[in-house]
Structure formats: C-alpha cells, structure tokens
Amino acid sequence: MKALHFVLFCSVFLIPMKIFSQSNCNMSVTYSEMAFEKFKNAYKSDTVDHAKVFIKKGIEEAEQASAYALICNCPLAKNYALNAVTFGIKAGKADNLEEVKKQSKKAMDMALDVMTATPACNQNSK
C-alpha cells in the first residue's frame, strides 16, 4: 500500500513540477531568442533613435528570460540574461551609433549564451 501512495505522490506532485520547470526553461529560451532578435535589429540600425526602439524591447525580453531562467533553476542562464540587460541599458544610454552597435552586439552575445546554457540546465534537472 505504501508503494502505491508513493507512486501517486510522484505522479501528482513531482511529474507536474518537472513539466512546470521544463516549461519555464523553454520560456527562458523563447524570451532570449526574442531579445537576441531585438538586439540584432538594434545592431543593424542606421540611426541611434531607430536602434533605441529595438533596444528597449530587447531589454524587456532579456529581463523576462532572466526571470524564467531563475524559476527554471538555471543560474548561469539567469546571469547571461542579466548581462544582456546590462549591455542593453548601456546601448540605450549611448549617444553615438558606434557605441550603440558595440553594446548591442554584446547584448546579442549574452542572449545567445542564454539559449546555449538553458538546455544544459534543463537536462540536468531531468
């Protein structure tokens, strides 16, 4: 009878938690992909003002990637996402296109690192 209770406990509590965690890991990757695209658009922009529109959205999406990475229990991905936010903020404060592009590229790289790190954390939680 105890074995049956254990199986029921696992199926009711642990399996949904694993699915919940995997879902959050997937959301971290999704938001980092969106942040990467926004920072890439900023990097390709011809004017500072045009780039800043993309940078603002990229920062918001990198923040979401960080939050989901935290819930997913992936501290490395969370740190990469926060670094993307930091570089995005620097890009948003820059007053010349060269600096905007430099910081946007760094933010892109960090968003890409989130996409790389998160699946490894997801694998480790299985």
Residue-wise pLDDT tens digits, 100-112: 999 999 999 999 9
Q: Which amino acid is present at 44?
A: K
Q: What are the residues whose beta carbons fall under 8 Å from the beta carbon of 52, sequence distance 6 or more? A: 42, 91, 92, 100
Task: State the pLDDT confidence band at 126, using cuts at 50, 70 and 90.
Answer: very low
Task: State the pLDDT confidence band at 119, using cuts at 50, 70 and 90.
Answer: confident
Please name each of the domains of the chain with its CATH number. Answer: 27-116 (1.20.120)
Residue-wise pLDDT tens digits, 36-75: 999 999 999 999 999 999 999 999 999 999 999 999 899 9
The pLDDT assigned to 39 comes to: 98
Mean of the per-residue pLDDT values for the chain? 86
The pLDDT assigned to 120 comes to: 82
Spatial separation of the C-alpha atoms in residues 84 and 86, rounded to whole Å: 5
Instruction: Provide the whole-model pTM.
Output: 0.80
